[in-house]
Structures are given as C-alpha cells and as structure tokens.
Amino acid sequence: MRGIRRVCLLLALLLTLACLRVPAKAASGISSEVYGFLPEAGFLGLVAPGTTEEAFFAALQGEGEFSLSSGVATGSVLTRSVDGQAQESWTLAVLADLNGDGVFSVSDMLMVKSLLLGLLTFDGAQKKAGDVNGDGAVTITDFLQMKSCLLGLSSLVPRPLEAKDELYITVSVSGEAVRMPLETYVALCVAAEMPASYPLEALKAQAVCARSVALYRIHTGVTHANGAAVCDNSGHCQAMRTEEKLRETWGRDYDKYWGIVTRAVEETKGQILMFEDSPAQVFYFSSANGMTENVEKVFTEKPRPYLVSVPSPEEPDLSTVTLTFDEFRENMKIKFDLEPTDEEIRAMEVVSRTESDRVISVRVAGVEVSGVAFRHGNGLRSTDFTWEIVDNTLVFTVYGFGHGVGMSQKGARAMALEGSTGTEILAHYYPGTTLGDCEAYLP
C-alpha cells in the first residue's frame, strides 16, 4: 500500500507539473496569463493545508504580496505588489477547472483524485467524477472514501457504476419516479435481495435475475402509474435499498460488501435470461423444501417450460407458527370471511398437494381455500406446511421460505459452494434459457 501511495503522489506531481505554466517576469502593468493549481492543491497534498494564496504564489514567483481581484476563478486578476506598489498583474486561467464551471473547487479535486485512483477515465465529457459510492452525487462521503484509500486505511474502493454505464431505467422509489443507471439499480437490488456474504457466483446469478426482472417488464410494456418500469417494493417487483439503508445495515463492512456486489454486477453487465429470443419472465425466492415449483401452481401464469420444478440442494428452512383457535378464526374472517367453529377447525384438512409437496388447497368449514392464500392469510413462510392441534392451538410446521418458483437463493449459495458458476446455477433453475444482451430491449 505504501508503494501505491508513492505512485499516486508521483502521478499527482506529474499532473501538476503538466498543468502549471508559470509566466516569465513581466514589466509593470503588462498582463500575461497564469495557469495553475491554486491553494486548493492542498487537497492532493501538493502544498500544506491552509497555505495562503500569497504563500503559494510566492513559492512559485519570488517575494511579494499577492492579491486576487475576484477570488479564485478564471478571469480574476492576480496582482503582485512590493512595498505596496503593484509590480505585475496576470489574468487567471484555471486549467484545473475540470468540470468547466469557471472555478477550481473541491469538485475538481475529487475529479483529479478519481483520475489518480483509476476510478474515472477523463475524456473531456462532463461526468459524475468522484462519485465513488454510486449515489449520483459527489459528497463528503466520496471524498472520505478516496482519502481513506490514499492513506491505506481502505483496500477496496467501489468503482462508480455511473461513470461507465450508459443504459438507464426509471424506478419508482417510495412512489417517486427516479431515473438511474441500469447497473446501479441492479446492484441496489442484489444488495437488498441476497446477503452480500454469499459466494460471488451466487451473487452473479442474482444480478442476472434482478436485471431480467426489469427487462421483462420493459419488454412487455408494464409500467407504474408514474411511468416507472419497476419499483422498490419486493411484493410487486423486487426489493431495492438506497445507499443510506445499506450503510445502516452493513456499517463498517459497507466498502467490503458494496465492492463484492458491484463486482458481481460488473462481471454480468448487461446479461439477462432469454427464452426463444425474448426476455424470460424470472422469479426467485429465499429457500426451497428440496424442490422448486411449476409457475402455474403458484401464480396465475400460463405454464412456462423454464419455470418448472427442479431439485434444490440446500438444507430447507424450518419454521413454526403458533395460532390459538381465536387468532386463526380472526385470520379466516379477515381474509376469507369465514368464522369456523372449534369443531370445524379440528376437522380442517389438506385437499391436495403438488408433486413437490406444497399445499394446493385446504378445506375449512366446508370451503376450499387455496394453499397460497391460506399461507399468506396465516403468516406462513411457504405452502409446504403441516399442522397439529395442541389443546385449542394450531401449531404449523413450515418447510422452505418463499413462493418456490424459479431460483432458490439458498440453493444458489449451496451450488456455488460446491463449485458451480453463476451461469450453471441459472441453467439449473431456468432450464432451456440462454444469456442475452439487454441493450436491445431498453427504450
């Protein structure tokens, strides 16, 4: 890391020498131009923090008092005086004004640091230089992250996805339509939907799934009322967490986990699941009961050859839910307008199950209720459940977590730990699909 700091300092010095052009001494009253970094060069460690304008220019030009007519900005007149008498004056042209706003400020220094750290390739176009954390703004947080890297306090600085991504998507975030880079949206979804501690190959499979969910909606023309293609609601589209939420969740591990997630996204950039030359409809869930489920058994969708029941290798999640007869009766009244008696609760039975052992329907008080509706109405994690009655209490035992269609995230983790790649994981859970490029399907 010490060697990296030396290289960064050397690059900074070379960049400064390339940009500085000190004028030859001019006769009194004759104007020429001064190009160069001003006291803010302290941000790069080229001059001591707090160096005054006078001291900075004195170091370059020799003795004298220096004054600026209108601050540190292009067009400002710099005057050197000796014993109160003006000797020379120059018009400033600030070459370090990289963002073209006429002044040399912290934003420009962040851009320079981005160049030195390899976070940005500057081609003259205006970009969100210095936006290390990918939130669309350059703030003190970005500056601190870069400073931490230069000092050797951090070994991982996430690359700003915005700086190299040209594909955008409109997302409904808390009801507000927000336009953002597609790959940034995918990263925020992956971070929300799958633990960042999972193996990289599992995260790569999740990134393709997240991107595919969005592109399928765009391809089929589904939009929200505010015009957004997707939203941040996991119950409707898929979950998405903001940087602030991720920092709260990950704490000191933020840089580490965000770096892992963005790596998974970058290594699958633009990839979506395709079936017969069209974006595939993709579902995923937390954990299976040993098998996934056919889509038509769970959702009101027609059968799809790539959303079928396949084995899933993880150890199934096991959970229990305990409801008194009164609590169960209240659930049934609210959800199904049923008020079964104690005797009818005791007589409740499963009518049928799928081949993967998930409940298709339950008969309660002479009424057949779908397994999916029954699960949600009583707060069960999946439709693979059984129950027993202890006194006047129902004790449900539930296997797995989620609807069961598509990729099991814990199954993906288990496959990755066994050496499967992200591509192999996707091929297992979505048989018959292929990987394609999403760009052709974005508006």
Residues 209-221 have pLDDT tens digits of 999 999 999 998 8
**pLDDT band at residue 379 using 50, 70 and 90 as cut-offs:** very high
Q: What is the mean pLDDT of residues 8-29?
A: 37
**pLDDT band at residue 300 using 50, 70 and 90 as cut-offs:** confident
Q: What is the mean pLDDT of residues 8-34?
A: 36
Q: What integer pLDDT is reported at residue 268 of this predicted model? A: 96
Considering the chain, what percentage of its residues have pLDDT values greater than 70? 63
Average model confidence (pLDDT) across the chain: 77
Q: What integer pLDDT is reported at residue 157 of this predicted model? A: 35
Domain regions of the chain by residue span:
2-93, 106-161, 165-282+406-441, 318-399
Q: What integer pLDDT is reported at residue 226 of this predicted model? A: 84
Helix (H) / strand (E) element for 332: namely helix 325-336
Q: What is the mean pLDDT of residues 158-175?
A: 66
Spatial separation of the C-alpha atoms in residues 163 and 168, rounded to whole Å: 12
Residue 31 pLDDT > 50:
no
Q: Answer whether 141's CB lies under 8 Å from 247's CB.
A: no
Q: What is the mean pLDDT of residues 12-34?
A: 35
Under DSSP, the state recorded for 24 is: P
For the chain, state the CA radius of gyration: 31
Q: What integer pLDDT is reported at residue 16 of this predicted model? A: 42
Q: What integer pLDDT is reported at residue 140 of this predicted model? A: 57
Residue 100 pLDDT > 80:
no
Residues 134-146 have pLDDT tens digits of 555 656 555 555 5
Residue 158 pLDDT > 50:
no
Spatial separation of the C-alpha atoms in residues 116 and 253, rounded to whole Å: 24
Q: What integer pLDDT is reported at residue 227 of this predicted model? A: 85
Q: What is the mean pLDDT of residues 287-297?
A: 96
Low-confidence winner among 61-70, 198-207, 381-390 (lowest mean pLDDT): 61-70
More confident residue, 442 or 357: 357
Q: What integer pLDDT is reported at residue 233 of this predicted model? A: 87
Residues 223-277 have pLDDT tens digits of 888 888 899 988 889 999 998 999 999 999 999 999 999 999 999 999 999 999 8
Spatial separation of the C-alpha atoms in residues 317 and 313, rounded to whole Å: 12
Q: What integer pLDDT is reported at residue 84 of this predicted model? A: 73
Q: Answer whether 44's CB lies under 8 Å from 12's CB.
A: yes
Residue 161 pLDDT > 50:
no
Q: Answer whether 344's CB lies under 8 Å from 394's CB.
A: no
Beta bridge mates, 2: none
Residue 130 pLDDT > 70:
no
Choose among 224, 249, 399: nearest CA to 321. Answer: 399
**pLDDT band at residue 391 using 50, 70 and 90 as cut-offs:** very high
**pLDDT band at residue 101 using 50, 70 and 90 as cut-offs:** low
